[in-house]
């Protein structure tokens, strides 16, 4: 069978010809499409640096085979802002100093977007920490991360209420 | 990672036919298989991708009160299905205590059952490992083996099965539905995984090419919903495999136990159902003394396979804790830290 995959990446349809079925979504994004915002930490599902949304769900791009995701809708950190307007999660990470070196940050942010979408944690810090446990931060910015996620969740709920009214 | 041929079947029949070719492996989410391929432990010549099959990705609540879960259903989707959670809360709690949210969003029911051991020597191609290379020896025997098996192990292999999901499932009498070259068959989960004996490379009863299509929970399993818990001790609070774990389910009437289920995780090459302990609980009062007795029985045959004698007493205590929590009643909402033993127990018990 032909090794071509068609993906919607950050709202743009892309068809990529693969010379080899071994390519992961992470390597496809970074090496073939120059989308290096998604980071490679462990490459084994253990750190969360590679977190992206696939069909709206947060997953580890390092353990996803690209060819198997033919037809999928992918959102990476590059596709999050609305032009110059930051996504509420991005804005909250800045407001709460939720990073130091920044290496884990794209994964943290994408994971937070996924977590808020899942709607299981609300604004309970313990549930937010548990829901974010798949994202490690070697700089230990966890406190700011938790605060940022809670604030972004509130801001997004507020916007949704205003829009519904 | 080795090169492989990639095939994308569009039906179960096509998948089974494709996987009948020697050297084939089914690809579900790949969270375990791709990991092992990257480190050279799994080297399939052919990947048969299950991700484009129609169906097998949902749950059906059966008219008789049981439930049938498609093998491709994602771990998170199952855990968050409201009716499933209400009827089989210990299974939902076990699922949510496993891995991370990202991994649970991807991982499938079938893949979770068939995930391989986390033994470090199995994962290191430079080490001797009878499971990876039959006859090569077992470097875990004289190595780092704190987390290895205390039940059902053999001289050839002391590895454990790492799944959380499987522990309440085996307690509740789940049945695995299998499609294969020779047709359809069913195997109770308790007989699905194999103890190592002299052939640790054989981990389940699946024949080459056989596909798990579904998992079934019998109607009676839902009868434990009011008193069903999973408790998992980890080396850190979250995103870690079990050191030991226990699923406990009770049916209480007039202050007595009329039926019980108990299974242990992290102790053997399979999820370990403790039937003798269950029998001992019949008619007993649901208190710490009864539970301690049951835990003694559950671990009666346990023996260390290395530097892991501590796991035997730990498993007893986790079993007692799970039984006490089950007796106290399933909470309306799952705790913030699912399955964590670091929560207070009603009645002030802290053993
Ligand atoms: C960092 C990390 C932490 C983790 N922590 C935990 C934890 O705490 N608790 C826990 O329980 N698990 C944990 N896991 C393991 C995780 O649950 C498994 O990787 C996952 O369930 C596998 O599912 P999958 O769909 O990705 O399977 P795959 O990786 O695609 O497949 C796994 C195996 O099953 C076979 N297979 C898959 N589907 C079928 C089928 N339908 N029929 C026949 N064979 C099939 C494949 O051929 C392969 O051999 C962790 C994993 C990682 C990477
Ligand atoms: S315990 Fe089993 S899996 Fe681990 S090295 Fe020994 S034979 Fe291999
Ligand atoms: S790079 Fe994917 S989880 Fe670490
Ligand atoms: S900010 Fe440095 S790793 Fe998280």
Task: Give the CATH number for residue B245.
Answer: 3.30.390.50
Give the residue range(s) of CATH 3.10.20.30 domains in chain A. Answer: 3-79
Q: What end-to-end distance do the CA atoms of chain B give, in Å? A: 46
Range of the domain at B289: 225-328
Give residue B50's pLDDT: 98
Contacts of B51 in chain A (CB under 8 A): 68-69
For A45, the closest of B27, B52, B103 (CB atoms) is B103
Question: Residue B112 — φ and ψ, nearest 5°?
Answer: -65, -45
Mean pLDDT over residues A106-133, rounded?
96
Q: Report chain B residues whose CB lies below 8 A from the CB of A124.
A: 336
Phi then psi for residue B99, to 5 deg, are 50, -140
**What is residue A39's DSSP assignment?**
-
Give the closest residue to B53 by CA, choosing from B19, B96, B79, B99.
Answer: B19
- Among B35, B52, B101, select the one facing A45 at the smallest CB separation: B35
Instruction: Using an 8 Å CB-CB cutoff, list chain A residues near B30.
Output: 63-65, 68
Fold of A3-79: Ubiquitin-like (UB roll) (3.10.20)
Which one of A28, A48, A57 makes the best mutation probe of the B interface by having the most chain B beta carbons within 10 Å?
A57
| pLDDT given at position B350 | 44
| Residue B342: inside a domain | no
List beta partners, residue B70: B214
Count the alpha carbons within 13 Å of B314 in the hemisphere toward its beta carbon.
22
Reduced to 3 states, what is the DSSP secondary structure of residue A7? strand
Determine the CATH number of domain A88-164: 1.10.150.120
Could you tell me how many residues make up chain A? Answer: 165
Nearest to B231 by CA among B148, B346, B325, B336: B325
What's the rounded Cα separation, in Å, for the pair A20 and B51? 19
**Does the beta carbon of B243 sit less than 6 angstroms from any atom of ligand 1?**
no
**SS3 of B316, please?**
helix
Tell me the two tokens of residue B191: 């007989």
- Residues of chain B neighbouring A131 (CB-CB closer than 8 A): 101
Q: Does A90 touch chain B (CB under 8 A)?
A: no
Within a domain: B216: no
pLDDT at B344: 54
CA distances from B321 to A11, A47, B300, B335 (A): 49, 31, 18, 15
CB atoms near residue A75 (< 10 Å): 20
Taking residue B258's Cβ as centre, other Cβ atoms within 10 Å add up to 13
B241 found inside a domain: yes
Instruction: Name the closest residue on chain A to residue B26, using Cα atoms.
Output: A68
pLDDT at site A165:
83
DSSP-assigned letters across all residues of B262-296: EEEESSSSS-EE-HHHHHHHTT--SSHHHHHHHHH
The CATH number of whichever domain residue B9 belongs to comes to 3.30.43.10
CA gap B12, B20 in Å, rounded: 12
Total domains, chain B: 2
Q: In chain B, which stretches have pLDDT less than 50? A: 347-351
Here the ipTM equals 0.98
Taking alpha carbons only, the member of B222, B246, B237 closest to residue B299 is: B246
Confirm or reject: Cβ of B130 under 6 Å from ligand 1. Answer: no
Helix (H/G/I), strand (E/B), else coil: B246: strand
Angstrom distance (rounded) from CA A107 to CA A120: 19
Confirm whether B151 is domain-assigned. no
Q: Where are the alpha helices (DSSP H) in A18-124?
A: 25-27, 88-95, 105-118
CA of A60 relative to ligand 3 center, distance in Å: 6
**Minimal Cβ distance to B6: which of A24, A67, A111:** A67
Which atom in ligand 1 lies closest to the alpha carbon of residue B241? Answer: 8
Nearest CA distance, A2 vs chain B (angstrom)? 10
For A55-105, how does the pLDDT look when each residue is reduced to its tens digit (9 = 90+)? 999 999 999 999 999 999 999 999 999 999 999 999 999 999 999 999 999
Show the beta-strand stretches assigned E in A3-43.
Answer: 4-9, 12-17
- Sequence ranges of chain A with CATH classification 1.10.150.120: 88-164
CA of B156 to the centre of ligand 2 (A): 8
Cα B74 to Cα B92: distance, rounded to the nearest angstrom = 12
From A79, A55, A67, select the one nearest A25 (Cα to Cα).
Answer: A67
Question: What DSSP character marks residue A85?
Answer: B
A94-122 average pLDDT score: 97
Cα–Cα distance for residue pair A153/A80, rounded to 1 Å:
15
Instruction: Tell me whether residues A70 and B52 touch, CB distance under 8 A.
Output: yes
Amino acid B348: pLDDT:
46
pLDDT of A1: 56
Cα B108 to ligand 1 centroid, rounded to whole Å:
7
Count Cα atoms within 13 angstroms, Cβ side, for B183. Answer: 1
State the closest ligand 4 atom to the C-alpha of A102, by its place in the atom list counted from 1: 1
Q: What is the pLDDT of residue B342?
A: 81
Taking CB atoms and a 6 Å cutoff, what residues make up the pocket around ligand 2?
Answer: B 117, 119, 121-122, 129-131, 138-140, 157-159, 200
Collapsing DSSP to helix, strand or coil, B245 comes out as: strand
């Amino acid at each position: 069978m032909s090794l071509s995959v068609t993906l919607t990446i950050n709202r743009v349809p892309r068809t990529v010809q693969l010379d080899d079925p071994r390519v992961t979504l992470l390597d496809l994004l970074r090496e073939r499409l120059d989308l290096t915002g998604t980071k490679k930490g462990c490459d084994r599902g253990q750190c969360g640096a590679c977190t992206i949304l696939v069909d709206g769900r947060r997953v580890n791009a390092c353990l996803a085979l690209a060819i198997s995701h033919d037809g999928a809708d992918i959102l990476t950190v590059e596709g999050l802002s609305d032009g110059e307007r930051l996504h509420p999660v991005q804005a909250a990470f800045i407001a709460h100093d939720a990073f130091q070196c920044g290496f884990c940050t794209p994964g943290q942010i994408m994971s937070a977007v996924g977590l808020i979408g899942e709607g299981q944690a609300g604004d309970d810090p313990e549930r937010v920490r548990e829901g974010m446990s798949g994202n490690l931060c070697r700089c230990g910015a966890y406190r700011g991360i938790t605060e940022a996620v809670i604030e972004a969740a509130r801001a997004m709920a507020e916007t949704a209420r205003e829009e519904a009214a | 990672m080795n090169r492989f041929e990639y095939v994308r079947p569009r039906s179960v029949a096509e998948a089974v036919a494709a996987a009948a070719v020697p050297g084939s492996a089914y690809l579900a989410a790949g969270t375990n298989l791709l990991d092992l391929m990257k480190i050279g432990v799994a080297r399939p010549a052919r990947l048969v991708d299950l991700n484009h099959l129609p169906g097998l990705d949902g749950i059906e609540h059966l008219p008789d009160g049981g439930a049938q879960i498609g093998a491709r259903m994602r771990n998170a989707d199952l855990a968050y299905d409201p009716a499933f959670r209400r009827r089989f809360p210990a299974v939902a709690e076990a699922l949510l205590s496993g891995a991370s949210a990202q991994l649970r969003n991807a991982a499938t029911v079938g893949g979770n059952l068939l995930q391989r051991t986390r033994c470090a020597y199995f994962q290191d191609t430079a080490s001797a490992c009878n499971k990876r290379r039959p006859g090569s020896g077992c470097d875990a025997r004289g190595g780092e083996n704190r987390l290895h098996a205390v039940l059902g192990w053999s001289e050839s292999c002391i590895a454990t099965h790492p799944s959380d999901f499987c522990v309440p499932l085996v307690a509740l009498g789940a049945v695995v539905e299998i499609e294969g070259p020779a047709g359809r068959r069913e195997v109770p989960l308790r007989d699905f995984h194999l103890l190592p004996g002299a052939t640790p490379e054989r981990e389940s009863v699946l024949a080459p090419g056989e596909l798990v299509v579904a998992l079934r929970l019998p109607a009676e399993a839902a009868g434990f919903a009011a008193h069903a818990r999973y408790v998992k001790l980890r080396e850190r609070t979250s995103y870690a495999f079990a050191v030991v774990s226990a699923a406990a389910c009770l049916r209480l009437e007039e202050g007595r136990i009329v039926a019980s289920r108990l299974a242990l995780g992290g102790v053997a090459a399979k999820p370990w159902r403790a039937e003798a302990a269950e029998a001992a609980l019949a008619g007993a009062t649901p208190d710490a003394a009864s539970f301690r007795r049951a835990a003694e029985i559950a671990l009666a045959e346990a023996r260390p396979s290395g530097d892991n004698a501590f796991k035997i007493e730990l498993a007893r205590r986790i079993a007692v804790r799970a039984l006490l929590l089950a007796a106290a009643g399933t909470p309306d909402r799952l705790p913030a830290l699912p399955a964590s033993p670091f929560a207070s127990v009603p009645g002030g018990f802290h053993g």
